[in-house]
Structure 1
Amino acid sequence: MIADAAHGPSTDELIDRAAAVLNPHRVGDRLFGDVGAALLTAGGNVYTGVCVDTGSGTGFCAEASAIGAMVTAREYRIARVVAVWRGEDGALRVLPPCGRCREFIRQIDPANLDTEVVLGRAETPPLRDLLPFHAWPPPLDPPGRSA
């Protein structure tokens, strides 16, 4: 766990913060703001963001939006992160970060491999468990020896 994640908001409070920024807005066949994210930094601050879906591939996930706010504030270490979506049935669901967001979190700071990823109220594995084989493997042959 990254320093002081235990002293920030609880998992339920972080989920509530992510849900609070949900603001679905339809433009044509695109939907903006239907996924909200909240992250807790190692410094104890919470940043939120929403997704923006575009047809041109220039959109971004809610986690990336929250990370942008965090980096703007000159913070880089993420203690805990969650993304949520509310279905048409009104039920709130936690969404795991996509592969791009998992890698993005890691690249912001290598220590973020220890970021707790909220997958449910009682399930918060470290990012490293969701991003296996992130490091380059050792060479197949010793240096100077060809196969």
Structure 2
Amino acid sequence: MITVSNDELIAAAQAVVHPHKVGDRLFGDVGAALLTEDGNTYAGVCIDTGSGTGFCAEHAAISAMVTAREYRIARIVAVWRDEDGVWFVLPPCGRCREFIRQIDWDNIDTEVILGRRRTATLRELLPANEWPDPLD
């Protein structure tokens, strides 16, 4: 597998961040990049809509991955830049955590980048992820 550092994956996410408005909608202010088990990288940006039908940057990156017929995510990161130009790594929201899990059940072990030197597995971020035992 091709080795990609956390800094390189963060840079790939930063490279796609280009916030802009179309009408009253904001596009591209969050970028995400992921690395597949096969060593390929995919990136995407968020689309904010007033009706809640938009999606997070992680969804866009995952969609690009699935379009290429890949499903297993080795590592993923999302970034955002504030009005002062300061970059932040964003943890995936609950919807994204569940989306990552449902793309491939083995994604429970995906490494989520939370900072330059901080990561956690999706398993750690998505507690109670196993199917429950029967009541009786």
TM-score range, shorter-chain basis? over 0.9
Quote the sequence identity (%). 73
| Structure 2 match to 1:110 | 105
Moved over 6 A (4+): none
1:22–1:36: 8 Å Cα contact kept in structure 2?
yes
Whole-angstrom distance in 2 between the partners of 1:40 and 1:23 = 21
Give the Å deviation of 1:29: 3.6
In structure 2, list runs of 5 or more residues that go unmatched.
Answer: none
In structure 1, list runs of 5 or more residues that go unmatched.
Answer: 142-147
Q: Does 1:72 align with 2:49?
A: no
What is the TM-score when the length of structure 1 is the normalising length? Answer: 0.89
| Structure 2 match to 1:24 | 19
Aligned pairs for 1:5-84 (under 5 A) are 7-84=2-79
1:50–1:63: 8 Å Cα contact kept in structure 2?
yes
State the structure with more CA Rg: 1
1:76–1:108: 8 Å Cα contact kept in structure 2?
yes
For this pair of structures, how many residues does the alignment match?
A: 136
Give the Å deviation of 1:8: 2.5
Whole-angstrom distance in 2 between the partners of 1:22 and 1:36 = 5
What is the TM-score when the length of structure 2 is the normalising length? Answer: 0.96
Give the structure with the larger strand fraction: 2
Whole-angstrom distance in 2 between the partners of 1:28 and 1:98 = 26
CA RMSD of aligned residues (A): 1.0
1:8–1:40: 8 Å Cα contact kept in structure 2?
no
1:61-88 C-alpha deviation (Å, 9 max, x unpaired):
0000000000000000000000000001
Whole-angstrom distance in 1 between the partners of 2:82 and 2:61 = 21
1:78-131 C-alpha deviation (Å, 9 max, x unpaired):
000000000011001000000000000000001101100000011111100000
In structure 1, give the amino acid aligned to 2:34: L
Q: Does 1:139 align with 2:134?
A: yes
